[in-house]
Amino acid sequence: MTLAVDHTQLSQAENRLTTNLALAARILSAAGHDDFNQGQVSARLPGRSQFLIKSAQRGFSEATPDDVVAADIDAAVRPHPWAPPELPLHQAIYAVRPDVNAIVHSHAASSLVFGALDAELAAISHDGAVFVGRVSRFTTTSNTVLTRDIGDQVAQSLADDPAVFLRNHGGVIVGKTLRHATIYAQLLERACQLQLVAMATGVPFHVSSEIDVASKLDYIYSDTSVKSYWEYSVRQIRNACAEAQSWS
C-alpha cells in the first residue's frame, strides 16, 4: 500500500493541516532552517495512525500543499516514493509520544553548532526558557536516521522533552500542535544563536532565574501566545509570498 495525500478524501480540518504544513515549511525557511531540500516537518492526522510530511523532493523554501505526502507510523506500510528517507525518525517519535502531533527536524546552523558543543542551553533570552533542562543530545551517530532502530534511540533520547540535539547533525523539535513545533524550532535556533554570541565574548553572563523561567512558560509561551506567534509568522509568509496567499 502506498500512501499519498488525496485531498478529496480529507476532511476540511485535514486539508487545513496540509496547507498549514506547507506554511510551516516556509516559516522554517524564513527562520534559517534551509539546507538544500533536506530537513522535514510533519504533523499527525487527528485520530489516525497516519501523518503528513513534507516531500523529500522539496526544500522548506519551496514547499507547497501539493508537496505534502502521507505516511504511516507502522513501518510495514510502504511509504509514498517521495517520502523523506528519515521517515523512521518521525515514525519512532509518534509511536511513543501520543502527546506529540508535529515534528521538525532541521540542520539550522546555530542549533547544529551548539549541539556539537559540551555546553548546556541556558535562559539567556526568553527563547531559552522553553528548553532549560529539557533538551538532551543524541550521540550514537551523526548520520542520517535511516532505520527504525536509530529512530527509536533518538526517541529515547528525546524522552518527554520538547527537543533533542542530534550531535553534528541538527535538531529535532516536537510539539502538541504544528504551530507549537514550528514556533519551538524558531525559539531553539534563536536561543542557541544568542548563547553562542554570549559565549564568544569570553565574559561571564547572567541567565533568568527558575522563577522567571516558570513565569515565561506560563505567559510568554502560553498556548495563546504561541498561537499569536504562529499567526504572525503566517502573515509574514503570506505578505512575502504571492502564491501562499492563494492557499486556502
5-55 residue pLDDT tens: 666 667 888 899 999 999 999 999 999 999 999 999 999 998 899 999 999
Angle subtended by helix axes 178-200 and 12-30, to nearest 10: 10
- Domain ranges for the chain, please list them: 7-246
Q: Is 240's pLDDT higher than 90?
A: yes
Residue given cell 518521525 in the structure block: 90
pLDDT, one tens digit per residue, over 164-188 is 999 999 999 999 999 999 999 999 9
Whether 226 and 183 have beta carbons less than 8 Å apart is answered as yes
Give dist(CA 65, CA 54) in Å, integer.
9
- CATH number 3.40.225.10 is the correct assignment for the domain at 7-246: yes
Q: What pTM, to 2 d.p., does this model score?
A: 0.96
Q: Give the containing element (helix H, strand E) for 53.
A: strand 50-54
Give dist(CA 43, CA 175) in Å, integer.
9
- Lookup: cell for 62: 519551496
